[in-house]
Amino acid sequence: MKKYLLITVILALIVAMVIVPLLSKKQDVPAEEKISATFGFKDNLATKWDETIELTININQEDVVKLELIYNDSVFQTWKNPNGNITTKFNAGFYGLGTRTLQLLSTLKDGTTSLDSRMVRVLSDVVPELWIATILNSYPHNPTSFTQGLEFNDNILFEGTGQKGQSIVAQVNLNTGEQTKKIGLDGNYFGEGITILGSKLYQLTWEEQKCFVYDKKTLQLEKDIPYIGEGWGLCNDGVSLIMSNGTERLTFRNPVTFEIERTIDVYSHLGPVANLNELEYADDLIYANIWMTNKVAVIDPRNGKVLSEIDATNLIQAGRGSGDVLNGIAYNAKTNKWYMTGKNWSKLFEVKWTKPTV
């Protein structure tokens, strides 16, 4: 009997010392933080440019002494001792198109605060018109040119190309496709967009974070300017350089210092238009190749709204051959003519835009 009693006591001790503490051990998960005031809508919010919406705010505790509505890090509205739920009018287009943060900061009597934070996506109020690119004339294009920038200046065609070891910037004879003057980049650089402003030709690099500045007549390299991030397409409005980086964002830069002056986020009525690549500026509009598509977005430079979308599928069938994607759009202001090509295409086209017949 004593033996069984001993075993029973040992088992009881094991249960008391090991199993019970294990079962009763407090969970390490902190108590759920209570948010004193919350937005009435679920998850995040999508709204349109210039659309005024009604926000409902739920007050979840009685001792809230201050409530602040914060949009894009600025306090838009403040309530003291809010009583009951609140409804307020709000226009998210204040900072233009794009994705921003909307927050409710509530302060309790004892000074503790809590935050309800959401994302707001402001879409364009414009449904883009659909245009079709049709071919007017066909010219030879060097199929070894991995086109990254295409621009006319004083009736001369300039082209910048990519790929490490093959990147160049060149003056090109439109009729023959011959590169009449060219400069090759060091093999460490992958050339991207080009544009000409004043007497300078600017050429971006993809990941090397350097913009090369040349004399536009001699193509002699004068200097390079560092920048942060990727470089894709480049154009200018006569004052600022306008640069794409593969997202929906276009950055306006000072041509001397390369400092950022402003940015716009490019949106249609459906959402952001990303992968913006080669650019062209004409008649107060920005034209942007959309990488990996047959499309060009026509953008209002003031606010990033996509006004039209050009379908260039006709060009793919006629000129791509074994080449890569459509990329390269240039306007000749002297002749009022438009040109497009693609990476390693054997043809470059004079084009016009037409609206499709229904």
In the complex, the residues that contact Ca ion under the rule CB under 5 A are 150-151, 280, 330
Which CB sits closer to Ca ion, 151 or 208?
151
- Least Å distance between CB 287 and Ca ion? 8
The full 3-state SS of 133-176, as one line of letters, equals EEEEEEEECCCCCCEEEEEEECCEEEEEECCCCCCEEEEECCCC
Residue 93, helix vs strand vs coil: helix
* Cβ neighbours of 237 (radius 10 Å): 15
Q: Which residue is nearest to Ca ion (CB)?
A: 280
Which CB sits closer to Ca ion, 190 or 281?
281
Which CB sits closer to Ca ion, 121 or 253?
253
- Least Å distance between CB 119 and Ca ion? 33
What DSSP string describes 277-317?
Answer: EEEEEETTEEEEEETTSSEEEEE-TTT-BEEEEEE-HHHHH
Which CB sits closer to Ca ion, 151 or 265?
151
* Cβ neighbours of 197 (radius 10 Å): 19
Which CB sits closer to Ca ion, 267 or 331?
331
Which CB sits closer to Ca ion, 125 or 324?
324
| AA letter at 12 | A
Alpha helices in 32-105 (DSSP H): none
In the structure encoding, which two tokens stand for residue 130, read together? 């659909």
- Least Å distance between CB 152 and Ca ion? 9
Which CB sits closer to Ca ion, 69 or 279?
279
- Least Å distance between CB 333 and Ca ion? 12
- Least Å distance between CB 236 and Ca ion? 10
Residue 66, helix vs strand vs coil: strand
- Least Å distance between CB 72 and Ca ion? 32
Residue 18, helix vs strand vs coil: helix
- Least Å distance between CB 310 and Ca ion? 14
Residue 228, helix vs strand vs coil: coil
Which CB sits closer to Ca ion, 174 or 330?
330
Which CB sits closer to Ca ion, 150 or 264?
150
97/265 Cα distance (integer angstroms)? 6
88/55 Cα distance (integer angstroms)? 5
289/147 Cα distance (integer angstroms)? 12
306/270 Cα distance (integer angstroms)? 10
Scan for tokens 């040349």, then name that residue. 214
257/270 Cα distance (integer angstroms)? 35
- Least Å distance between CB 128 and Ca ion? 20
- Least Å distance between CB 255 and Ca ion? 16
